[in-house]
Structure 1
Amino acid sequence: MNTLAIVISILILLVIWLLLDFLLGRRKHLRTFKPQFFPIRESDINMFAAGPALFHDYFSELKAAKRHIHISFYIVHDDDISLQFFDILQKKAQEGVEVRLMVDRLGAKKVTKQMIERLEKSGAQFVFSQEIKPPFLFYSLQVRNHRKITVIDGKTGYLGGFNIGKEYIDLDPKLTPWRDYHLKFKGEGVQDLQTCFLRDWQRDAKLHIHDMSPYFPPLEKGQYSHKIFPTEGIHLESTFSDLIHDAKHSIRIGTPYFIPGKRVFRDLQNAVKRGVKLEILVPAMSDHPLVKEASYHYLRTLIRLGAYVYQYQKGFYHAKVMVIDEEICDVGTANFDKRSFYLNLEINCFTYDRNYIEQVLAVFKQDQSDSTAVSLNSLKSYNPWQLTKELVARSVSLFL
C-alpha cells in the first residue's frame, strides 16, 4: 500500500471516529439531560451595553459582598482586568466571604496555574466547567458552558454577553469598542440564577452542597416580569421557533453570529412572507474565522424575501437580543446560531414588561443607527476564494 493510500485510509477512519463520537455523545446527552424550567418572576433589571460602565458597577458589587460570591464565565483571560478580577475575589475570600468561580475549560485556557493557586490559597474555590473527557472526546470538546452568571449574597445577579478580558472594556486594538448587552437583577429572579449556578457547580466540582438555605435569602418583587431560561443544546431552538411562529408585526434580532438551524430559518422565511417586518443586526467585523461567510446564505435568502439586515460599524457587536412584536424580549448568552441551539450551555432572560422592552429597543435602535444597511449585491461574490470560504463555512457551521 502506497503512502497516499495510507493517508487516505487514516483520514477516512478519523472522519468515521469523529462522526461516531459525536452521534453517540449526542445520544447520551439527550438521554441524560434534565431540563430546568422556572416560573415568571418580578425583578428590577438594568441593562448595560458598554463594558466600562458594566465592570465599574460589577466590581463595586463584588467588593460589597458580605456572605457569598458565585460566578460562572465562559472566558477569563490573563490580562490587567482579569488580574484585577482575581484580586477582588482573593480579598473577599480572605475576608471570609464564600467565593466560587467556575470557568469553561476552553474559555479558561489563558488562566494560569499560578492564578488559580493564588485564588485557592486565599480560601476561594475554583472549578473548570465542561472538562473534555472520554469516551466521547470530540463531543465533549464541542459542548461548552457559554453561560455568564454572577450571584452576590443571593440578592444581586448578572447575566449576559460580557466575559472577563481587555476586549470587553474597549482595550483591544481590533474589537473596540465592544458592544454587548448584560443584565443586572435585584429581586425574585436572582434565586433562579442561583439555582442554575449551583446545579452547574455541583456537576463540575463533583461536590454536593448539603445545605442550600444560606444561598436563598428572602427576595422582594421587582418592577419587571421575566423568566430565566437555561438551556443545554436542547429546547432553545424550539422556543425561538414558537416565538417567531407567533409573531404578528415585527421581529428584531441582534447577534454576532447569524447561523440558524433549518427549523428557525424556515420560520423566519415564513414570517417575512406573511408580512412580519424582520430586522437583523450583525457586526461588520468578525472575531472568529468563517462566521461571516457561514451567515451569507441565510442573509441573502432573507433579504430577497424583504428582510432588513444591518452591519454594526462602531466597533464589534456581540449582543444577543430578540424582540417580538414589542411584547417579548430575549437577552442572554445564546447567539442566534447552531452552536447555541444544539451544543452549548446557555442562559437567557425573557422579559414581558413593555416599559423594559422600550428601554432595550432604544439601545437596539441606537446600535441600528450606528450600522449600515446590507444590500443583496454586497453579499454576492464571484471571487473563487470567497466562494470556497463560504462553502467550507456552511459545511462546518455547527462547530463555528
Structure 2
Amino acid sequence: MVKKMLFILVCGLCLCLFFQWDVKKGYNAYVRVHPLIETPVYQGKIALYTQGSNLYPTLFEDIKKAKKYVYIQFFIIRADNISMKLFELLKEKAAEGVKVKLSVDRFGGNDLSRTLIDDLKKNGVEFTFSRKASRQHFFYSINHRNHRKFVVVDGQEAYLGGFNIGEEYLGKHKKLGYWRDYHLRIKGEGIFEIEKQFLKDWEEDTGQHISAQRVPIARSHGANYQLLFSTGEELEQKMIDLINRAKVKLTIATPYFIPSEHLMNALISAKEKGVLIDIILPDNTDAWFTKPPSYPKTEQLLNKGIRIFLYKKGFFHGKVMVIDHTIANISTANWDPRSFYLNDEASCLIYDREMIAHIEREINEDKTNSRRLTKTVIDEIPKWERSLKKTPEWIYYYF
C-alpha cells in the first residue's frame, strides 16, 4: 500500500514538473515571435460603454450597416438569446455578400454546439475557434487563450474592451446581477491596426492569409490614442512603466487582482513617492478561486495606505487604469498572471483630457457603488477561504 501511494505521488510530481516545463518551453517559443506591438498614436472619435444594454444595440446597428466586411473576435460567446440575435444578423449580412469572419476562443466558446457552428458556416459565415490545443507544447497550448475582444466593420468602426457576448453581460446572471464593464467604440484613424491584428490571429488559427487593407478615412478631430497587442510579460513591464509615470494619482480597476512581485513593488514605490492610489475590485466574483490569492496582495497594499474599493452594485468586470488625469488605459487584460503571461490581450491608451475626464466620472460612480476594504472586512472573510491565501504562487500563475 505504501509503495503504491509513493508511486502515485512520484507520478503526480513528475506530471506537475513536465506540465510546468512544457508551459515554459511553449511560452518562450511563442513570445519569441510575438513581441508586444505598440502602434503609433492615432486620432479618432472614441465612445465609452459601461453597460451591455447600451453597447449591444450600437454594435448590432454598425454590423447592420456593413457593406464589405465584419470581423469579430470574442473570448466568450454564449448560446443564448442575445448571441442568437447576433448569429442571425451575421447570417443576414453574409447573405447580402458581406464577408463575415467570426472567431471565438476555443475554451470560451464551449457553449457553441457543432450544429450551431455548421449552421453559421452553411449560411456563409466563416467561423473558427481561436487557440486550439496542439500536440506541440500541449499544456502551453491549452493555457494560452485569445482573450481579445475585437469587432471591425468595413474598416470604419472598431470595438475593444471587456464585454463578451451573452445574457450575463446584460445583467441577467442570477448570481452576479448587474454587470459593469468598460468597452470602447473607435471611429477614425487606427482601426487598420485592430484589423491587422485580427487577421494575424485569424491566419494563425486557420492558415488563411489575408492582408489588411487601409480604408481611406477623412481626418477628424478626436481623441489621441495608441493600441497595444500583447502576449507575455512585456505587458507587465508596460504597466510598470505607466505606474512609474504617476506623480499625483493612479486608479486601477480590474475584476481579478493577483499582481506579481514586480507590480507590487511598483505600486508601493509610487505610494511612497506620494501618489494617491485607488484600486477598484468586485465584492462579488464569477471566479471565487481567484480571490484567496489576492488577499495577501490587498492586505499588504492596504497597510501601505493604498485605498481599495469593493464594488457592490453587481459584478465589476472593467479593466481600467488612469494616470494623473492625462493617460487612461481601457483593456481586455486583467491584473492576473494569465493576462500578463499567458493570454493574447489588447489595450487602448488614451491621451485626451476630455475623454479621460469622462472615464473618471464613471470611475467615481463605481466608487460610490462600492465599500472600502478595511481590516474589519478582511477579518470577516471565512477562515477556510483565508487559509487558501497560502496557495503556492506557481499554482495561481494559471488562475
Normalised by the length of structure 1, the TM-score is 0.96
Deviation at 1:383, TM superposition (A): 5.5
Deviation at 1:6, TM superposition (A): 2.1
**Map 1:49-88 → 2, pairs under 5 A:** 49-88=50-89
The Cα RMSD (Å) is 1.5
Q: In the alignment, what sits opposite 1:359?
A: 358
Percent identity over the alignment is 34
Q: In the alignment, what sits opposite 1:17?
A: 18
Q: In the alignment, what sits opposite 1:309?
A: 308
Q: Distance in 2 between matches of 1:236 and 1:5?
A: 41
Deviation at 1:317, TM superposition (A): 0.2
> Contact 1:36 / 1:230 at 8 angstroms: preserved in 2?
yes
Q: In the alignment, what sits opposite 2:30?
A: 29
Q: Indicate how the Cα distance of structure 1 residues 382 and 291 shifts in structure 2: closer, same or farther if over 3 A, else same.
A: closer
- 2:230 equivalent to 1:227: no
> Contact 2:195 / 2:212 at 8 angstroms: preserved in 1?
no
Report the AA paired with residue 89 of structure 2: I
Secondary structure in 1 aligned to 2:173?
coil
Report the AA paired with residue 349 of structure 2: F
**Map 1:298-377 → 2, pairs under 5 A:** 298-377=297-376
Deviation at 1:395, TM superposition (A): 4.9
Deviation at 1:40, TM superposition (A): 0.1
Report the AA paired with residue 244 of structure 1: I
> Contact 1:187 / 1:222 at 8 angstroms: preserved in 2?
no
Deviations 1:199-220 (A, max 9, x none): 11111111112x543x634353
Q: Indicate how the Cα distance of structure 1 residues 382 and 349 shifts in structure 2: closer, same or farther if over 3 A, else same.
A: closer
Deviations 1:93-150 (A, max 9, x none): 0111000001111011111111111111111100111111122111111111000000
Of 297-306 and 219-228, deviating more is 219-228
**Map 1:207-222 → 2, pairs under 5 A:** 207-209=208-210, 212-213=212-213, 216-222=215-221
Report the AA paired with residue 78 of structure 1: A
- 2:105 equivalent to 1:104: yes
Deviation at 1:36, TM superposition (A): 2.4
Report the AA paired with residue 205 of structure 1: T
Q: Indicate how the Cα distance of structure 1 residues 56 and 382 shifts in structure 2: closer, same or farther if over 3 A, else same.
A: closer
Secondary structure in 1 aligned to 2:163?
coil
Question: What are the ranges of 5 or more consecutive residues in structure 1 without an aligned counterpart?
Answer: none
Q: In the alignment, what sits opposite 1:8?
A: 9
Deviation at 1:380, TM superposition (A): 3.8
How many residue pairs match? The answer is 398
Of 307-316 and 390-399, deviating more is 390-399
> Contact 1:159 / 1:332 at 8 angstroms: preserved in 2?
yes
Q: Distance in 1 between matches of 2:215 and 2:47?
A: 21
Q: Indicate how the Cα distance of structure 1 residues 393 and 313 shifts in structure 2: closer, same or farther if over 3 A, else same.
A: farther
Report the AA paired with residue 29 of structure 2: K
Q: Indicate how the Cα distance of structure 1 residues 35 and 273 shifts in structure 2: closer, same or farther if over 3 A, else same.
A: closer
Deviation at 1:181, TM superposition (A): 0.5
Q: Distance in 1 between matches of 2:381 and 2:107?
A: 36
> Contact 1:188 / 1:222 at 8 angstroms: preserved in 2?
no
Secondary structure in 1 aligned to 2:242?
helix
Report the AA paired with residue 228 of structure 1: L
**Map 1:203-282 → 2, pairs under 5 A:** 203-209=204-210, 212-213=212-213, 216-282=215-281
Deviation at 1:266, TM superposition (A): 0.4
Q: Indicate how the Cα distance of structure 1 residues 249 and 111 shifts in structure 2: closer, same or farther if over 3 A, else same.
A: same
Q: Indicate how the Cα distance of structure 1 residues 219 and 202 shifts in structure 2: closer, same or farther if over 3 A, else same.
A: farther
Secondary structure in 1 aligned to 2:291?
helix
Q: In the alignment, what sits opposite 2:398?
A: 399
Of 164-173 and 19-28, deviating more is 19-28
Q: Indicate how the Cα distance of structure 1 residues 28 and 347 shifts in structure 2: closer, same or farther if over 3 A, else same.
A: same
- 2:151 equivalent to 1:145: no
Normalised by the length of structure 2, the TM-score is 0.96
Secondary structure in 1 aligned to 2:132?
coil
**Map 1:187-198 → 2, pairs under 5 A:** 187-198=188-199
> Contact 1:186 / 1:222 at 8 angstroms: preserved in 2?
no
Report the AA paired with residue 17 of structure 1: F
> Contact 1:155 / 1:190 at 8 angstroms: preserved in 2?
yes
Report the AA paired with residue 293 of structure 1: P
> Contact 2:192 / 2:212 at 8 angstroms: preserved in 1?
no
- 2:289 equivalent to 1:290: yes
